[in-house]
Copies of this chain bind each other. A is one copy, B any other.
């Protein structure tokens, strides 16, 4: 998920433009043009850093000088300084909230993702923790990138990615088998095909029809076990990846993550992540011409 700087800059500029509106009236009234300062961005609780590349691009595109003291993906202690930034004080103050909203959200998502990934690792499992497309609307890139920095799997980036046949697609079709065969025949060779199933027999049918990934939607751990047995018995387990999805949360994650399941996906790590507490304080006033 590498974005050239100019593309990222444009996304960030739009966020800032929304917050600034017709101009920051407070800063214009309280800080003289030409005043310069230095600020520290600090995390006020421990967590995983994310959004540092974005912070750098945003601040540098505004003409500020940035020194990043942590890197994307780093684990931070409470109180650690993440960024030192200096330059035009009006610019610093006008972009503070946009900067922090991005860092807090991305670091919050990376932090919860990392916690789940470590749970899996401690259990010596290889199951991947994946997010879904349940992101904040319009923040798909940032939410998915934060998951990646936390150690998770981005899953489909958007609708032009992998073929993922879900419940509503199947409702619109003649049968599960027909829809899969049709997709296999017409899909580009460059794409994997995944299908969402709700019963063990559908999983078998999907594997026989030749999908690459099967999403077991709202299966209980028991149902999962039975499905895997069925697939193994039919000699199809090796042909497919299995993804458990639906109703999985941090609390019950370990009921689903097991040697039987390749991927566990959770909506909550992107749609309801608690933000990490990060703030910015002006620590030096470099230019003394003050009101």
Q: Name A's B-contacting residues (CB within 8 A).
A: 1-7, 9-10, 13-31, 35, 37, 39, 61-63, 89-98, 100-102, 104-105, 108, 128, 130, 133-142, 144-145, 153-174, 178-179, 182-183, 186-192, 194, 213, 241, 243, 262-263, 271-275, 280-282, 285, 290-291
How far apart are A207's CB and chain B's nearest CB, in angstroms? 16
Q: A133-B19, A160-B161 are in contact. Are A282 and B171 (CB under 8 A)?
A: yes
What 4 additional pairs, Cβ within 8 angstroms, besides A31-B172, A105-B271, A171-B285? A2-B28, A160-B161, A167-B281, A192-B192
Q: In this complex, what residue of B is CB-closest to A277? A: B267
Q: In this complex, what residue of B is CB-closest to A243? A: B189
**How many Å lie between the Cα of A13 and that of B191 in the bound state?**
26
Q: In this complex, what residue of B is CB-closest to A30? A: B169
- Pick from B35, B62, B188: contact of A172, CB under 8 Å: B35
Contact A172 B2 (CB under 8 A): no
Residues from chain B with a CB closer than 8 A to the CB of A170 are 30
Q: In this complex, what residue of B is CB-closest to A10? A: B13
How far apart are A182's CB and chain B's nearest CB, in angstroms? 5
Q: Label chain A's interface by main secondary structure.
A: mixed
Residues from chain B with a CB closer than 8 A to the CB of A23 are 1-3, 141, 145, 157, 159-160
- Pick from B3, B9, B16, B161: contact of A4, CB under 8 Å: B16
Q: A160-B24, A179-B30 are in contact. Are A138 and B18 (CB under 8 A)?
A: yes
**How many Å lie between the Cα of A190 and that of B3 in the bound state?**
20
Provide a sorted-by-A list of 9 A–B residue pairs whose CB atoms are within 8 angstroms.
A3-B20, A7-B17, A20-B160, A25-B163, A31-B169, A97-B134, A102-B137, A153-B189, A162-B191
Residues from chain B with a CB closer than 8 A to the CB of A187 are 25, 29
**How many Å lie between the Cα of A143 and that of B19 in the bound state?**
12
Q: In this complex, what residue of B is CB-closest to A27? A: B2
